[in-house]
Amino acid sequence: MSAALDQDGFKATAEGSPRRPFRLRYNAAPGADMVSVARQPSSVRRRRLLGGLAAGLALMGCLYGGLCWWAAGQFYSPWRYPRGDWAQQRALGVRDVWLTAADGVHLHGWWRAAPANRFATLYLHGNGYNVTTRADHIRGITAAGSDVLVIDYRGYGKSDGRPSERGLYTDANAGYRYVVSMGKPVIIQGQSLGTAVAVDLAVRRPCAGLVLEMPFTSGRDIARRVSPLAPLVVWGFDSRAKISKLRAPLLIMHGDQDQMVPFSMGRELFAAAPEPKQFWTVPGAGHGNLVQVAGPAYAERLRSFYETLK
């Protein structure tokens, strides 16, 4: 026989025993609009979804900010004053130079000159230490026949501020203006991180020549060697994209035992540069000891390069 519902909503089975039917239960006040009640669960889910997305985006923002902070720490390792051997200033025969960058940051550098020198070099050091660790470069460059200004980027040595890619480019401009004011042909020279700053400056400002020690192709290429995630937050210092615009003679020096910036990167950047250009391999030199391993040949090679310049 067909089943029927009793007044309490139970369905009778063929044997006459009641069975409670399946019901969709909800809480609603008496007389509530059934359409609005039916829609309530989807609006709640939507709010929860939007809340989850907002929390996820906030977490991603924190992670991205943390990665950016970490990446900046990998690129900049400054020694602030008084760290370093500042007492060697007199023995080196250098004098203090104080500069003001275009954005008002005060910078410090060391300047060494000789009347017989034909050129004036702006030397842009690597990501670590400060001017006090560049004594061998100062001696080698002046022995080769060039005056030299070594500046400390913002946040390094006695310079104010904090380092950044744009800040380093601004600091290089300030150093360049000072060297130009000396009235001699200008050579721009960079080492390690400073090679990217030097390339950027040399393609924007006239110079007699460009010297790069242990150059890398781009910040992203270096970051990829540190962590697979690093290229997500590092994309600047792209010398490979800029060097084709160079309109000055180029000398690249690179040690064949460099474990930090691979020798192959120096060759790759050299291949991307226009003529005239020279590449000098320093056998046995690593990343931080090229001048020491090269010995007197360092100044000799620079002097040979200077002789080709107008």
* Residues with catalytic function: 192, 258, 287
35 vs 104: CA distance, rounded Å: 65
Give me the helices (H) in 181-262, please: 193-202, 219-226, 239-242
Reported as type and span, the H/E element at residue 57 is: helix 34-75
| Residue among 106, 112, 70, 65 at smallest CA distance from 92 | 112
212 vs 31: CA distance, rounded Å: 83
Residues in the chain: 310
Give me the helices (H) in 76-164, please: 89-92, 135-144
User: How is residue 190 written in tokens?
Assistant: 């960079």
Q: Alpha-carbon torsion 218, 219, 225, 228, what sign?
A: negative
CB-based burial of residue 275 (10 Å sphere; 0-12 exposed, 13-18 middle, 19+ buried)? exposed
| Residue among 151, 135, 155 at smallest CA distance from 79 | 155
281 vs 263: CA distance, rounded Å: 9
